[in-house]
Amino acid sequence: MIKNRKGAWAMIQAIFSDIDGTLLNSKHQITFDTKNTIQKVVGGNIPFVLVSARMPSSIFPLQQELNISAPVICYSGGLILGCNREILHSICLSKKSIKQIYDIVSDHYPSISFNLYGYDQWIVDNTQNPWVIQEAGIINGSPIQRVLSSYIEEDHDTHKILCMGPPEDVERLVQQIKNEVTGISVYKSKGTYLEIMDEMVSKSYAIQELEGIFNITYRESMAIGDNYNDMDMILYAGLGIAMGNAPEEVKKIADWVTSSNDEDGLKIGLEKYILSV
């Protein structure tokens, strides 16, 4: 039995874990000890759900590496896929919002790389852009090069916009988008990455969508993450854990702070609250 900040007691029946900075260490790897601990948890019939701003094809290989089967939450909740990769939930950005943000970036931010994601496609205007090359190496993804202005006019389903660039430009872009564009949610997943989804998209809302499938309440869920876009699920879950490498704002709202992603913080959290209970 675990007491959280809400004063509620519950046994954890499902775990929702961020990927980058949480499951993965700074070398973008899952350690041997973390993998073994996750397999012990899953062996106890507790679902382990990966929750990420990533696209599906950069999440499934991690599931396979962990040898787990569970739904996945992609694009920070914009797309949920079931165990057989069927679509359980999907929320896309409006064409109007996409055009507004694209025009802002094109007109005022030459240093920013503008990326569109829909289902399992990643669309860019230049596959040789250094930011795109860096991201492709991290997620093992393959971007598709298109003329973005034409692609947007074709009205494809888009789950996420990713803007990558220097921290000072990303911060200015955040403020401008918030001032000029409505109907969206905007998060910095790190200083150089800005993630933009529809305003109805959040990791916590995605967890709610899966509660019925798992036949649990929020009190029986554990969420663990390391950054600003994890804050809503850390606050929502019955047990919310922040990684040791998280910013102070994230640590302050968590029930507990574990060690960093380079110190097997996820493993330590699972041992403390799941395997030792």
Residues with a known catalytic role: 18
d(CA 164, CA 90): 24
The vertex-243 CA angle with 51 and 241, nearest 5°, equals 70
The alpha carbon of 206 is separated from its chain's Cα centroid by a whole number of angstroms, namely 11
**Spatial distance between the Cα atoms of 30 and 249, rounded to a whole number of angstroms:** 26
Calpha distance 131→126 (Å, rounded):
10
Which residues sit opposite 241 in a β-bridge? 224, 256
DSSP, collapsed to helix, strand or coil, labels residue 131 as helix
31 in Cβ contact with 264 (< 8 Å): yes
